[in-house]
Amino acid sequence: MSIVTDAQNGKITEEMKTVATIEGLEPEFIRRGIAAGRIVIPLTPYRDVKHCGIGKGLTTKVNASIGTSSDISDVDMEIKKAIVAEEAGADTLMELSTGGDFLDIRKKVNDAVSLSVGCVPLYQAFIEAARKYGSIVDMKEDELFKATEDQAKLGTNFMAIHTGINRITVERLKIQGRYGGLCSRGGAFMTSWMLHNEKENPLYSEFDYLLEIMKEHEVTLSTGNGMRAGAVHDATDRAQIQELIMNAELADKAHKEGVQVIVEGPGHVPIDEIETNVKLMKSMSEDKPFYMLGPLVTDIAPGYDHIVTAIGASMSSAAGADFLCYVTPAEHLALPNIEDVRTGVMCSRIAAHIGDMIKLGKRDQDLAMARARSKLDWNAMYDIAIDPEHAKEIRNSRAPEDDDACTMCGDFCALKIVNKNYNLAK
Contact residues for ligand SF4, defined by CB under 6 A: 405-406, 408-409, 413-415
Comparison of 195 and 414: residue with beta carbon closer to ligand SF4: 414
The C-alpha atoms of residue 165 and residue 392 are separated, in whole angstroms, by 48
Comparison of 370 and 414: residue with beta carbon closer to ligand SF4: 414
The C-alpha atoms of residue 337 and residue 358 are separated, in whole angstroms, by 32
Closest by CA position to 290, among listed 304, 274, 306, 308: 274
Least separation in angstroms between residue 391's CB and ligand SF4 is 12
The C-alpha atoms of residue 231 and residue 296 are separated, in whole angstroms, by 9
Label each residue of 239-267 as H, E or C.
HHHHHHHHHHHHHHHHHHCCCCEEEEECC
Q: How many residues does this entry show for the chain?
A: 426
Burial classification of residue 70, based on how many CB atoms lie within 10 Å of its CB (0-12 exposed, 13-18 middle, 19 or more buried): exposed
Comparison of 73 and 374: residue with beta carbon closer to ligand SF4: 374
Least separation in angstroms between residue 306's CB and ligand SF4 is 25
Comparison of 334 and 414: residue with beta carbon closer to ligand SF4: 414
Least separation in angstroms between residue 350's CB and ligand SF4 is 20
Least separation in angstroms between residue 384's CB and ligand SF4 is 15
Does residue 124 contact residue 152 with C-beta atoms inside 8 Å? no
Comparison of 300 and 412: residue with beta carbon closer to ligand SF4: 412
Least separation in angstroms between residue 374's CB and ligand SF4 is 10
Comparison of 333 and 414: residue with beta carbon closer to ligand SF4: 414
Strand partners, 292: 265, 324
Least separation in angstroms between residue 405's CB and ligand SF4 is 4
Least separation in angstroms between residue 368's CB and ligand SF4 is 16
SS3 state of residue 207: helix
Burial classification of residue 361, based on how many CB atoms lie within 10 Å of its CB (0-12 exposed, 13-18 middle, 19 or more buried): exposed
Least separation in angstroms between residue 362's CB and ligand SF4 is 24
Strand partners, 343: none
**CA atoms within 13 A of residue 95's CA, in its CB half-sphere:** 36
Stretch (H or E) spanning 319? helix 305-319
The C-alpha atoms of residue 201 and residue 141 are separated, in whole angstroms, by 9
Angle in degrees, 0-180, between the axes of helices 238-256 and 271-284, rounded to the nearest 10: 30
Comparison of 334 and 367: residue with beta carbon closer to ligand SF4: 367
Least separation in angstroms between residue 349's CB and ligand SF4 is 23
Q: What is the DSSP letter of 296?
A: B
Q: How far is CA 402 from the centre of its chain?
A: 43
Least separation in angstroms between residue 414's CB and ligand SF4 is 4
The C-alpha atoms of residue 291 and residue 272 are separated, in whole angstroms, by 19
Does residue 81 contact residue 108 with C-beta atoms inside 8 Å? no
Stretch (H or E) spanning 388? helix 388-397
Least separation in angstroms between residue 351's CB and ligand SF4 is 24
Per the rule left: phi > 0, alpha: psi between -120 and 50, beta: everything else, 310 is alpha
Comparison of 75 and 391: residue with beta carbon closer to ligand SF4: 391
Comparison of 188 and 415: residue with beta carbon closer to ligand SF4: 415
Write the single-letter amino acid at 230: G
Comparison of 172 and 395: residue with beta carbon closer to ligand SF4: 395
Strands of 67-219 (E only): list them: 92-95, 116-119, 158-161
Comparison of 271 and 418: residue with beta carbon closer to ligand SF4: 418
